[in-house]
Each structure stands twice: as C-alpha cells, then as structure tokens.
Structure 1
Amino acid sequence: MRIEENDGVSASRNHLVFAYYVTGHGFGHATRVVEVVRNLILAGHDVHVVTGAPDFVFTSEIQSPRLFLRKLVLDCGAV
C-alpha cells in the first residue's frame, strides 16, 4: 500500500519521531535506508537521520520538512 502525504493520515495521534543511525561507509547502507525513511515520513512521522553519508543520498530522493539530517561519522571499523 502506498501512502501519500495528502491522504489524510492523522499525524497528531500517532506521530512518532525516529532517530535512524546509519553508517556512511560506502553508499550501500544509506541507499537502502532511503526507502524505509521515505515510508516513515509518508506515514506522518519525523525522521532524524544521523550519518556520515553525503546529504544528497537522502535529499535527492526525499524532499520533506519531516526529514532532518545530522552529519556524524559512525564507523568504528571492522571487527
């Protein structure tokens, strides 16, 4: 089911704020997260993405005032 922002989803009662931490090591992780973030936003939620990945990975696919980006390098290295 596709949810559009103007479908009348009530954001007031079920509104959630998500913090999504994603590695910026390569673009693979970040590009997979885009679809999850998009669907959370379309459902009426705010999403704060904390990542070292470039902003354009998200902003080229999602244009929404509910998307918040914070630049932070999260990679601790391979174990």
Structure 2
Amino acid sequence: MKVKVYALPFLNGDAIDEMGFMEVPEGATLRYVYKKLQVPLLLRPILLCSVNYEKARMDQVLQDGDVISFFFPISGG
C-alpha cells in the first residue's frame, strides 16, 4: 500500500518516490516510516508528526492513502 509523505529536507529522500509516496506493508505503523526515513534518534522526541492532519502516535497503524507530515513545534520565517 502507499502513503503520501511530506518529509523534511534532511530526512532520507530515497525512501519516497518522486511524487512523495512511500510503499509500506500492510499493518505498518508510523514507527516503520520513521525507520525508512532514517529520522535521527535525537530528533524523535521533538519532531512532530501527523497522519491525515491529526497528531499521531508511533504505534498508529497506517492505511492506504494516509498523508504523513513532519514538522517542528516551533519554526520561524
């Protein structure tokens, strides 16, 4: 199944295709996506993640077509 991933620039872009989709197995959790994107351990506590634009937990089971977004709690412009 495929999920859409809006990854931050420093994450492993090889894990997603040119359209931003990632192939994940049935029953995959958000933890699986973190591993595939090689999210650094030091950033995991402060990096926020949403699934379908709602805050998500690492053990959330993903569904085909889910939208996963990563962001920091504070950012400036």
- Shorter-chain TM-score range: under 0.3
Q: Larger Rg: 1 or 2?
A: 1
Structure with larger RCO (C-alpha < 8 A, sep 6+): 2
| Larger relative helix fraction | 1
Q: TM-score, normalised by structure 1?
A: 0.22
Q: TM-score, normalised by structure 2?
A: 0.22
